Structure 1
């Protein structure tokens, strides 16, 4: 007789099931982390543009259209809108007006991005209570994986 017995096949299926139950959560975490870190350069560019606007005008801009920044082709689901939100085709949303950032010297002036999983990447502007700080909120285990320390209900990203 050639071939495998039913028991051998069941053992192989069981081993595959155990391995996939361990690997799948790690894979999902890696996907979430990648989506979050894709926001970093966009948020940094927006924060830099806000700081340039602040230097010229003495306050942060209330409208994304006033920023000297261009968006990557094919990523926006709609044009840069004056309601302060940028909606991307992958479900990511960037909120330019978070914390009333247009107010001069606002303690909570920041630019914030949110992935479709509801994880936030926040970059505090230079004229806020936490100048230059980047933080993560929404998935504690994912945010902790960046290192850093607890900060304002989330985690600082070093």
Structure 2
């Protein structure tokens, strides 16, 4: 179609198309990392909810029995799906049991007074969350988030939960976070 005022055909010039492509590229470069972080955080939400339930069940077990449970079967919750349960060996530092799910595992480290989860991220790396068990069921203390020092995604995820305190070792960052 011919534009009568300028005498040229309607449409977009190459420069206009390049500017649009450039703008889309800039927006994608900004949005994709945030989208990936949001997707991973949503996947973590389900795991953290189950981890908190296990922690609360451990506290109830303590009140009823005077000690923490070393087996998931002793707790008053049911684990979703059909997790693979593995007991710690006798030479392990703490007795306990691990429940392995698709994408994450939860460990009962009763003697260490800790409930711990290791979660695989979409990029193949992992992040760990843990709750310290207190001697009273009213304790809703902060959680511990552990990330490998060079793993940017895991460290960003830990920081996204609101860091209360951070320490580092040679290869790990330990974040005390509020969940």
| Same-fold status (TM-score > 0.5) | yes
Greater share of helix residues, 1 or 2? 1
Match of 2:44? 36
CA contact (8 A) 1:65 1:81 kept: no
- More RCO (CA 8 Å, sep 6+): 1
Task: Provide the C-alpha distance between the structure 2 equivalents of 1:146 and 1:127, rounded to a whole number of angstroms.
Answer: 25
CA contact (8 A) 1:65 1:80 kept: no
Gaps of at least 5 residues in structure 1 are: none
Q: Does 1:96 align with 2:108?
A: yes
Segments of 4+ in structure 1 off by > 4 A? Answer: none
Match of 1:63? 71
Q: How does 1:42-121 map to 2 (within 5 A)?
A: 42-72=50-80, 76=81, 78-79=82-83, 81-83=85-87, 84-89=97-102, 91-97=103-109, 101=110, 103=111, 108-117=112-121, 118-121=126-129
Which of 17, 29, 34 is matched with 1:21 structurally?
Answer: 29
Q: Deviations over 1:95-126 (max 9, x none)?
A: 223xxx2x2xxxx4111122212122211111
How many residue pairs match? The answer is 143
CA-based RMSD:
2.3
Greater share of strand residues, 1 or 2? 2
